[in-house]
Structure 1
């Protein structure tokens, strides 16, 4: 039996709480604004509520990436 559900669309999925860098972020659990930052999440220092980072956190050295087929530009020596 085939599913008749439409594909997932973030714009229609509702409000999602996230941690935004360079803004005042109040914890949805306790209302305070002191955070412990990690690579993928920010955790409230008072009640340990964790929020995903809005910036994605999928940049930097050491990440696995698939082949894109593009040849990188030569380095200037």
Structure 2
């Protein structure tokens, strides 16, 4: 029997579990709401399920920008 679903592709948009700052977050593993929050992830204090923090992230090529004139070296 052939399946009608397509294979999973990580880069496609869809529903993603994430910890949202300033909201009431329940763990998808144990349904409790006590979290240990770090810089990139939040971990459930009871079962250890880790979720990425779902806020706007700054990553990629445009992270650092120079406001100086082109061709002028930066002071060391």
**TM exceeding 0.5:** yes
The runs of 5 or more residues in structure 2 that have no matched partner are 1-10, 69-76
Q: TM-score, normalised by structure 2?
A: 0.61
Deviations 1:24-62 (A, max 9, x none): 00000000000001110000000000000112565xxxx
Q: TM-score, normalised by structure 1?
A: 0.60
Residues 33 and 45 of structure 1, relative CA distance in 2, 3 Å threshold: same
Size of the aligned set, in residue pairs, is 55
Larger Rg: 2
Alignment-derived partner of residue 39 in structure 1:
39
The runs of 5 or more residues in structure 1 that have no matched partner are 1-9, 59-64, 72-77
**What value does the CA root-mean-square deviation take over the aligned residues?**
2.3
